[in-house]
Amino acid sequence: MTAPTKPPHGTAADSPSERAPGEPLHSPVIDWFDEHARDLPWRRPEAGAWGVMVSEFMLQQTPVNRVLPVYEQWMARWPRPADLAAEAPGEAVRAWGRLGYPRRALRLHGAAVAITERHGGDVPSDHAQLLALPGIGEYTAAAVASFAYGQRHAVLDTNVRRVFARAVAGTQYPPNATTAAERRLARALLPEDAATAARWAAASMELGALVCTAKNEACHRCPIAAQCAWRLAGKPAHDGPPRRGQTYAGTDRQVRGRLLAVLREAHGPVPQAALDRVWHEPVQRARALDGLVSDGLVEPMPGGLYRLPLT
């Protein structure tokens, strides 16, 4: 996520009844962001649209502190989409390291190839063209258009959804999956001015990441605490469907990670015996390896050998 150039916050409406729904929230949140935003490499002007896109792929379900070193190495090696597109997709998987969900690496490689072939190596600014790239969903297209190009889009990640759920809807947590009602609310809260809307998207996301967190929210540091519907209601406990917890130990994800670690560290094809040593349970190990092959993350070779994908 990057921070667009600071625009004017806009002028107040003639009367409270004429105000846009989100107007009372915009200035305090953006002012807070101007003072407290983290200095992250993808927010700097030199990152460009490609740096923003890379960060958005890496930050999905992965915290900033784990992304930072991988991002820096990635951008040093592949500063443009064409640089990545020229490499085998397996190199993207190798460089992904232990970020998790490695299919993101293949999708980012596929997007780099498409950008190189369709757009002359430049990340497109048009939202529809971004959405047409492989591996790009609604969130990523909106985030790149907003953060890289200063456009007016509703950017709904987990942090933003939580801020809106509490501040506006008065609930502790948003639904497990993004709903049409949340998208309507996000669009209603957007500032009319594109540059301000882009700044608002970055600011509300940062507020959710640093202050309005999932646990131990810091309401005393929140710039909109006085307006927060959830706080004003006495912070009622979540009464919706159970929150989904993330487990890792003992799962197929853990086995897949161990198998990929062997392949990433190898300089050539790896025999089946080397993979067999990473996990004691043969049925789960075989299932995890089959899944990696099915996902295109691993290529089987004659003679019981395996490697990262070359094509």
Short-list 222, 299, 223, 230, CA closest to 268: 299
By the 8 A CB rule, do 153 and 146 touch?
yes
Q: Tell me what pLDDT residue 37 has.
A: 97
Q: Tell me what pLDDT residue 242 has.
A: 75
Residue 261 in tokens:
């670690």
Q: Tell me what pLDDT residue 19 has.
A: 53
Q: Tell me what pLDDT residue 271 has.
A: 96
The dihedral through the CA atoms of 1, 217, 37, 27 has a sign that is positive
Neighbours of 276 (CB within 10 A): 14
Give first-to-last CA distance, the chain, whole Å: 30
Q: Tell me what pLDDT residue 246 has.
A: 66
By the 8 A CB rule, do 162 and 156 touch?
no
Q: Tell me what pLDDT residue 130 has.
A: 98
Residues of the chain whose pLDDT is less than 50?
5-18
Q: Is the pTM of this model over 0.85?
A: yes
User: Which amino acids are annotated catalytic?
Assistant: 56
Total count of residues recorded for the chain = 311
Domains and CATH numbers, the chain: 39-151 (1.10.340.30), 155-236 (1.10.1670.10), 252-307 (1.10.10.10)
| Span 273-299, pLDDT tens digits | 999 999 999 999 999 999 999 999 999
Short-list 86, 127, 92, 125, CA closest to 107: 92
DSSP string, the chain: ---PPPPP-----SSGGGS-TTHHHHHHHHHHHHHH----GGGSGGGHHHHHHHHHHHHTTS-HHHHHHHHHHHHHH-SSHHHHHTS-HHHHHHHHTTSS-THHHHHHHHHHHHHHHHSTTS----HHHHHTSTT--HHHHHHHHHHHH--------HHHHHHHIIIII--SS--SS--HHHHHHHHHHS-SSHHHHHHHHHHHHHHHHHTS-SSS--GGG-TTGGG-HHHHTT-PPP-SSPPPPP--TTSHHHHHHHHHHHHHH-SS-EEHHHHHTT-S-HHHHHHHHHHHHHTTS-EEETTTEEE----
* Beta-carbon contacts of residue 126 (< 8 Å; ≥ 6 apart): 145
Residue 185 in tokens:
């609310």
Q: Is 186 exposed, middle or buried (0-12, 13-18, 19+ CB in 10 A)?
A: buried
Measured CA angle at 130 (ends 128, 133), to 5 deg: 110
Q: Tell me what pLDDT residue 118 has.
A: 97
